[in-house]
Amino acid sequence: MRSFKKFVYLFLSILLVFSLPIGVHANEKGINKPSKILYPEKISNQFTKPLKAKQETDQDYRNPDDYPFASPGQHLGVLSDSYGQSHYLTYNNTVDYSNSDMEVLLGYQSNTTNKDAYLNIEFYKNDNGSMSYLGSSTFNVKYLVGSFSLETIIGKSVYENDPYIYMRVGVIPSLYASYYSDVTYFKVNNPFCKESTTPDSNHYVLISNESTNGDQIENSGSFKINNDQYSLNKNIAKSAYKMDYVKPFDAKKYKNNFIKREAKSIRPLYQVGDSKNFWVSNLVTNQDYQIKATLSYSGSHSNVWVNNNQITQEEAEQLGKEFDDKIHPLDVENFGNESDVDGNGKVDILVYDIQDGFNQSGGYVAGYFNPADLYAVPDSNQSEIFYIDTYPTMGTSSNKDVSAAYSTLVHEFQHMINFNEKVLIQKKEPMDTWMDEGLSMAAEQIYENQALQDRIDYYNYDTDITNGHSLLYWDYDGDTLANYSLSYLFMQYFKIQCGQGDRIFKELIDDPHSDYQAVQDMIQKYIDPNLTFGKFMTDFRAALLLKQKSGLYGFKGNPAFDSL
């Protein structure tokens, strides 16, 4: 009986902590708009225990080690509710509210009222390796359209000896729900912790494998790294999941099968409205098959072929003109020239639904390039051609947005140019995948005239990178998206450190080497004649962490990379 009374007393104490001092506000942000204070129906302890998640993840909210660390201003992801609507979350800060209270502020953004009505924030403490649920604050977000600050006031004594505040945030359709429609969790620094030893975010352990062999691993020792930068569940922009594919091809083996223009027979000239069969690949089964496509646009540099009317003729013209007028001259200027094995001076762009196993979420292939198409081998289309996806690249509804494929056009065309320059002209090996992909994303950045924030976001939220994902080894069977982020960031770091602007990319392609040695040639020419590629890789990893304004341990103050 005594233990039961003690339990009741402790439980009521927690209720008092969360019901009396907790205040909940949503501050509307807008130009010349006064602050608007909204009080939810229920501000605390509607739920006496944690709610369940509809879908289990690899992380476990009951394990404090699985809570990713969030810094002030960090994007926390996007929660998708039972209506399919998005709730955008940001950790703003934890600030002083009074002598006895602190205020935890989360940023919230929504674009509709047709959504789940409530957002619930659960608070936890780490009690010697297990999580103790303290209570929650519940917000009625049904009619919040725009950007808001959700503020929870907590007594400082609740966390006075805890370096972290642990939170779990989910959306629910009603106050009687047993399951979250979607949920995420994270921890933040407690600036009011009274412990003598507080977390020091200025000290890290950086382990770098300086081997130039992408297949070689090195032992990091027996100690355990307590690294807070774990991945959130990857609810980030769709474009962050975008992949592509350069089909493996043994150019040396088939060098005698290369299509020589002067030796080939006369080929038919196609006009808009004509149809023909193309070989394409199922990227799940790695099987080739044929589809029929219709020539919907023929321009100065491109022919756009469309399978099964998946885009209209007007949309095909839009796609082709963007390539002819902007993308082709941009890539040629910065990377080199494509080949012309079929002698028509044009690139075929085949638009169809690439079979990549996409099932409404996760990674998808937005396009691919197959070097075999430049050779007289089985299943070759014997022309300069790359393949552009319609679903989900151009959207998941019947209304297609062909502009969503522009960056993929830029990306795949660089691959085509790269193969021509390295293999067909220089007679060298194809460029290593991690470099070739880094250059294609550099082409995207030149075209977009801004940093690729989706690749930065994936870097920020990915645990495999934290745990040592290789830059050099392109992991098609694992977290391939991590490779895209690392290759993109390395190529931008390399450009910034060399100080030559975008012209460094063409110089890299022109170098006689097709691997890391080409990078080493550039860094020894423009940075330090004694700097090895291995050491430069370590400097790159340090730069991602330290972001110093000068020197090798940063991006020289480029604000595009401040969010790393």
328-367 per-position pLDDT tens digit? 999 999 999 999 999 999 999 999 999 988 877 677 899 9
Is 74 in the same domain as 174? yes
Same domain, 294 and 355: yes
Q: What is the pLDDT of residues 492-529, one digit of tens each?
A: 999 999 999 999 999 999 999 999 999 999 999 999 99
Q: Which residues, 6+ apart, have CB-to-CB distance to 116 below 8 Å?
A: 81, 82, 83, 85, 87, 141, 171, 172, 173, 181
Q: What is the mean pLDDT of residues 261-272?
A: 67
- Using an 8 Å Cβ cutoff, are 458 and 473 in contact? no
Active site residue 412: yes
Are 364 and 467 in a shared domain?
no
User: Considering 377, 410, 443, which residue would you say is the last residue of a domain?
Assistant: 410
Tell me the C-alpha distance between 110 and 84, whole Å. Answer: 12
Query: What is the pLDDT averaged over residues 31-56?
Result: 48
355: number of Cβ within 10 Å: 16
3-state class (DSSP) for residue 159: helix
SS3 (DSSP) at 533: helix
* Residue where the block lists tokens 């060098």: 255
3-state helix, strand and coil shares in percent for the chain, rounded to the nearest 5: 30, 25, 45
Q: For the stretch 500-512, what's the b/e string if a residue is b when 16 or more beta carbons lie within 10 angstroms of its beta carbon?
A: eeeebbbebbebe
| Interacting residues of 223 by C-beta distance below 8 A, sequence separation 6+ | none
pTM of the model: 0.66
Domain that holds residue 272: 237-410
Residues 63 and 141 in one domain: yes
Number of neighbouring beta carbons within 10 Å of residue 532: 15
- Please give the share of the chain, as a percent, with pLDDT higher than 70: 84
Hey, how many other C-beta atoms are within 10 angstroms of the C-beta on 208?
Answer: 17
Mark whether 62 and 178 lie in a shared domain: yes
**Residue 142, pLDDT above cutoff 50:** yes
pLDDT at 384 > cutoff 90:
yes
C-alpha triplet 170, 175, 179: angle, nearest 5°:
45
Please report, to the nearest 10 degrees, the dihedral formed by the alpha carbons of residues 469, 472, 474, 480 taken in order.
40
Q: Inform me whether the pLDDT recorded for 56 exceeds 60.
A: no
Is residue 412 within 8 A of residue 441, CB to CB? The reply is no
Question: Which of 161, 189, 217 finishes a domain?
Answer: 189
398 and 452, same domain (yes or no)? no
Residues 94 and 123 in one domain: yes
What 3 state SS string does 294-311 have?
A: EEEEECCCEEEEEECCCC
Handedness of CA 248, 254, 257, 262 (dihedral sign): positive
* Number of structural domains found in the chain: 3
Let me know whether 440 and 489 are in one domain.
yes
145 found inside a domain? yes
Q: With respect to residue 158, please indicate whether it lies within any of the assigned structural domains.
A: yes
Q: Are 54 and 182 in contact (CB under 8 A)?
A: yes
In a domain, 24, yes or no: yes
Work out whether the CA dihedral 494, 499, 505, 511 comes out positive or negative: negative
Query: Predicted confidence band at 292 (pLDDT cuts at 50, 70, 90)?
Result: very high
- Whether residue 426 lies inside any domain: the answer is no
Tell me which of 122, 338, 412, 444 is the catalytic residue: 412
pLDDT at 101: 85
Measure the CA–CA gap between 211 and 192, rounded to whole angstroms.
43
* Residue 286 backbone zone (phi > 0: left; psi -120 to 50: alpha; other: beta): left
Residues 501 and 457 in one domain: yes
Mean pLDDT value across residues 531-538: 94
Q: Verify that 10 and 151 share a domain, yes or no.
A: yes
